[in-house]
Chain A
């Protein structure tokens, strides 16, 4: 892995259409070292963007450079792929493989041909995700969280400079999520990590920057603190639901928390990152 401050991804005006449906509309994004969070509702275009950056999809329009290489050309795509680790949203496995065999299979696809070096790398990444003691288990016998760790181990093979993770913590219990967060924080040291998630806690605790996508467009780009600040003066509490609020829900204490335009004299609350996110996206 290259430890540097070089720009991992520079994308300008990316657009993607599936027939008439617009998945991405003029999205620009630049990624450097550290963890960048990608937030957005379902169907916002997060997975399409990640697939384009992982070189699994070609955009219909826009310009993309990954470590300065153009993935729309053959040599550029190959050079980019050698530096990318990708964890898809719904990673699949060959049922008959053990955890070791699957990661070994991916390691061969990543051009690690020397058997001894490859097996050492497989052991390293399985150890990094805490699965070394289960390396001989068939993947079909593993829990959902362990399968997710196998997929992450496969993404880590070859020590990629750019890690693209599509909702890696979905379906994990709180302890597993915490373990993943620890790991992502370590991985963000010296490499670019793009983390798509619905968990705003992941973004708050991990990310240096956050991008919010909605309806195929980039609605926000900044630090988590800046996203949180969008809800300054727009979060308040009362004893009843507010029909005029953009979002309104009963909290555990019985009072209601609202995000939107507060009425005069409302009791304002300090916003969270989730409040900032709710302020931004179209909840209709």
Chain B
């Protein structure tokens, strides 16, 4: 036999990527050439074992990761999100219990606690999702090529989504208050984006504290009026505008999250 199938063609044939005329030629040759058949068998089996090895090694995704994948989140993103502290079972259970308590209070007394508390839950979730001293792998995360801002946004969006689902479920138990009880969504969104906006200057926890205190001042300051200001039509429009403006401002300073800056004294 004067010629043999080259390695690239044999590899392409083995993984099925060789185009049709080449396949016919290789198959005709393999029928007559034992040497090439042996090479093919060995390579194919070897690759097969490698693939099997990789599959067996791959860790079985946990509950959160599977839920995210089920919801259409890409596998790599789902893996990154499993490290979000506010997506841990213990945190989600705490949020659920808090919402249940607030809903019970609203049902038997008045909705103030529910309306004041619900927009703060995603803010707290965001505060514990990123930063030195909070995320144990923060330093490794910051020096990786993956965009810090993108990771932060992914985590925040997921925290906000989880909180929205839980709070929406809790709201269903308070149907007697009508549509007004669902007015927590826009404040949740606005407060979360505002927290993100000032995080590069203050750090996540102080930013969430400032925003949270501001929100409580607003709610408690208007609690004696006929309706809580943020839950009026004008208040909802104001919250939507605040969320939109904060989102635009956030877009302008996305590089601030990726900019290295000295760690606070306690983390040195």
Q: Do A and B bind each other?
A: yes
A contacts, CB < 8 Å to B: 16, 18-19, 23, 47-48, 51, 54-58, 71, 74, 77-78, 81-82, 84, 86, 88, 91-98, 100-101, 104-106, 108-111, 113, 115-116, 119-120, 122-123, 135-136, 154
Q: Are B51 and A116 in contact (CB under 8 A)?
A: yes
Interface string of B124-147 (1 = CB under 8 A from A): 000000000001111111111110
Closest-by-CB residue of A relative to B58 is A119
Closest-by-CB residue of B relative to A99 is B59
B contacts, CB < 8 Å to A: 50-51, 53-54, 57-59, 62, 75-76, 79-80, 82-83, 88, 135-146, 151, 255, 258-263, 265, 268
Interface of A is mostly: mixed
Closest-by-CB residue of A relative to B61 is A101
Q: Are B57 and A109 in contact (CB under 8 A)?
A: no
Q: How far is the CB of B178 from chain A (nearest CB, A)?
A: 41
Q: Are A18 and B262 in contact (CB under 8 A)?
A: yes
A69 to B63, CA, bound (A): 41
Q: Are B137 and A55 in contact (CB under 8 A)?
A: no
A74 to B145, CA, bound (A): 11
Q: Are A105 and B260 in contact (CB under 8 A)?
A: no
Q: Are B144 and A81 in contact (CB under 8 A)?
A: yes
Question: Could you name 25 residue pairs across A and B whose Cβ atoms are closer than 8 Å?
Answer: A16-B262, A18-B262, A18-B265, A19-B265, A23-B268, A51-B139, A55-B143, A77-B260, A78-B145, A81-B143, A81-B144, A82-B145, A86-B143, A91-B137, A92-B139, A93-B136, A93-B137, A94-B136, A108-B76, A108-B79, A109-B144, A110-B146, A123-B53, A123-B54, A135-B57
Given A135-B57, A136-B59: A105 touches B79 (CB 8 Å cut-off): yes
Given A57-B261, A104-B79: A111 touches B145 (CB 8 Å cut-off): yes
Q: In the complex, how many residue pairs between chain A and chain B have their CB atoms under 8 Å apart?
A: 111
Q: Are A109 and B80 in contact (CB under 8 A)?
A: yes
A86 to B75, CA, bound (A): 25
| Chain B residues within an 8 Å CB radius of A16 | 262
Q: Are A56 and B54 in contact (CB under 8 A)?
A: no
A156 to B141, CA, bound (A): 14
Q: Are B146 and A119 in contact (CB under 8 A)?
A: no
A97 to B61, CA, bound (A): 10
Q: Are A92 and B137 in contact (CB under 8 A)?
A: yes
Q: How far is the CB of A229 from chain B (nearest CB, A)?
A: 34
Taking A94-B136, A96-B62, A110-B145 as given, write out 6 further A-B residue pairs in contact, using a Cβ cutoff of 8 Å, ordered by the A residue number. Answer: A56-B139, A86-B140, A94-B82, A97-B83, A108-B79, A120-B54
A47 to B268, CA, bound (A): 8
Q: Are A58 and B261 in contact (CB under 8 A)?
A: yes
Given A92-B136, A92-B137, A116-B51: A58 touches B259 (CB 8 Å cut-off): yes
| Chain A residues within an 8 Å CB radius of B146 | 108-111
Q: How far is the CB of B58 from chain A (nearest CB, A)?
A: 6
Q: Are B260 and A57 in contact (CB under 8 A)?
A: yes
A53 to B140, CA, bound (A): 13
Closest-by-CB residue of A relative to B51 is A116
Q: Are B139 and A88 in contact (CB under 8 A)?
A: yes
| Chain B residues within an 8 Å CB radius of A78 | 145
A147 to B143, CA, bound (A): 20
Given A105-B79, A109-B80: A58 touches B143 (CB 8 Å cut-off): no
A18 to B50, CA, bound (A): 51
Q: Are B83 and A94 in contact (CB under 8 A)?
A: yes
Closest-by-CB residue of A relative to B53 is A123
Q: How far is the CB of B159 from chain A (nearest CB, A)?
A: 16
A16 to B262, CA, bound (A): 9
| Chain A residues within an 8 Å CB radius of B50 | 120
A283 to B80, CA, bound (A): 46
A94 to B53, CA, bound (A): 25
Q: How far is the CB of B132 from chain A (nearest CB, A)?
A: 10
Q: How far is the CB of B150 from chain A (nearest CB, A)?
A: 11
Choose among A84, A115, A119 the residue that contacts B143 (Cβ–Cβ < 8 A): A84
A57 to B143, CA, bound (A): 9
Given A82-B145, A93-B137, A154-B140: A55 touches B79 (CB 8 Å cut-off): no
Q: Are B140 and A109 in contact (CB under 8 A)?
A: yes
Closest-by-CB residue of B relative to A123 is B57
Q: How far is the CB of A201 from chain B (nearest CB, A)?
A: 27
